[in-house]
Structure 1
Amino acid sequence: MHGCDKEKLSASLMNALTAESVKILAARPMGKCGSALISFESSRPPRVIKYWGTLRKVIPFKITSFVCYRCHGPGHKQDICPKAVAVCPTCGTVHPETPDECPNKAKPFCAYCNEGGHLATDPKRPKQEAFNRQANTTSKGRSRIRNSEWRLTETKSHQRTRKSSCTSSSLARSTSLKETTEVSQDGTCTSAARKATISHMPSNTITPCQGEIYQELQELALEENQAERDYASTMRHIQKQISELQKSLETVKSQFANQAKERKQRPLVWQRRGTIAERVGPHRDA
């Protein structure tokens, strides 16, 4: 959530936030730009949330890249860095001094580019585009680092194990999908079939081959549940409006009936004008 008052973002942030259909687990300020990081109980956050009674748009938070602040390489965090000691971002070596007190300030060296003339944190270095690409790949899965080349690696034994498990599990999953999936007359998979399929696919036994299918089924089920909730909310709103219109119509009918009753109870005065007798309203003195 963005656009909040920086001075009001404090420990009482939980008291200021209210959500209608989802429970709020935690909330904390994020940086000093007036943004808040909110954790919900559901995996699908609401579209809007109330902040001190004002509706605010909820934007999903996604980690787009990982950069290690120990070795200054892309693709992993500091807690899983393969290097035991911190590398100086100025000279690319290990020394007890802080980066501000680096003894090699006159000779900066970047370990990623493997060349001197710039720091490891310089955004204008020659290989910055490749650095960003490797850092962004961790949004799809954590990478493994090999020496100082900062490349995604995978051992042959791991590849063989994944292929064998993928082959054996894919046959079992395909049989389970055929047995549990129900197809309607128009050829689309029903909601009950999708839910049954997901229930037969535990998350702890999903292989990489079936991971994408399992994720798509989960997303379809979540979207359908959200659509059902939106439809139910819209129908309740429409029924409420219909009941209000019916009440207004009954009020108008009763008013017309009372006016007609009052007109019938008024006295009639007959006046003769020439030779024609006319029926007029109540007599009024001039």
Structure 2
Amino acid sequence: MRWIPFIASLPIIFLLGADSPSETRNPDIELLQFRSQITSNMEPINASLQGADQFEVAWRLQDSSPQKLFIANDSTAYYQSDGQWKSVIPSGERLSVKQSAKLPDAVKPQISLNLKVTERSLTLIEDQKVLWTYSLPETNQIRPSSLQYDAVEHIYFQDNNGSWYSLDRNGKERYKLLLQAQDTQLTCKAAPSGDAFCTSPSLGILAVREKINAPRLIIDGKERFFPQRPEIINNRTFVPLRSIFEAMNAKVVWNQETLTVTAIKGNRTISLTLDSEKALLNGKKIQLDAPPVLYQGSMYVPLRFVGEALGATVIWEDATRTIQIIR
């Protein structure tokens, strides 16, 4: 059994649980136990994470009255607490929100899936044909208003118990955060990056994240999270071109016929072609240390090229596996 402490804002309040010698562990299921925030005299909140071989409850923060949770396009979570807006990024780091500041809009992903929702099932329909149906047990019902998607069309929803589910676009379970006792006040939201945030008065705010070893990405001092993460490919650091360039306010156009990407920012026009070691910057050829590659459906480019193309300072911190991009 895993005991989840609060992040550093609270002292550690749990000891590690121990399994009995006769217990058979399933590496795909992790048993969780949380101490209630409402009162220390209450019984612990029991839950299980199914899909724990690939996902984890990464952190939990204390917050006594989280409300109005929403996610911005950059995967930052915003919520109200005691009448004030707060924010937190998927790593669990809190960010300050000036009370006079204009809040960003909630993310609204563009979705191509045609899902039919009933009390206990989700059905994907394409060209008037049923491709798959995912059903809950008879004792559980889907909260229709909780249906959500991330940027790569993974599917998320809650049931009437408050439990949180994620499916891929083929209807296969990615993970389930199942509550033993009902928590109707639990609200969960999916970020474009696929990270999930959940809030309730008893649990505070916690995050479910995929277990990955991708480098961290920080642009102008702020950590950024994209569905396509930086990757180490053939011992070189590659980054998703469109996500990085658009985050730096460049306009990106893809030409399917020539497999070429053109990015425009200010007086700079950059063109790259898939698998070509030559790029063009304002019509001048640039030699790349590695050609752009197609990875999980997106064009990735060598990290060093980002600085050359956009006039930014790029720093790779090997000890922390962190990419710093400073404009």
Which TM-score band (shorter chain)?
A: under 0.3
TM-score (norm 1): 0.23
Between structure 1 and structure 2, the one with the greater Rg is 1
User: RCO higher in 1 or 2 (8 Å CA, sep ≥ 6)?
Assistant: 2
Higher strand share: 2
Higher helix share: 1
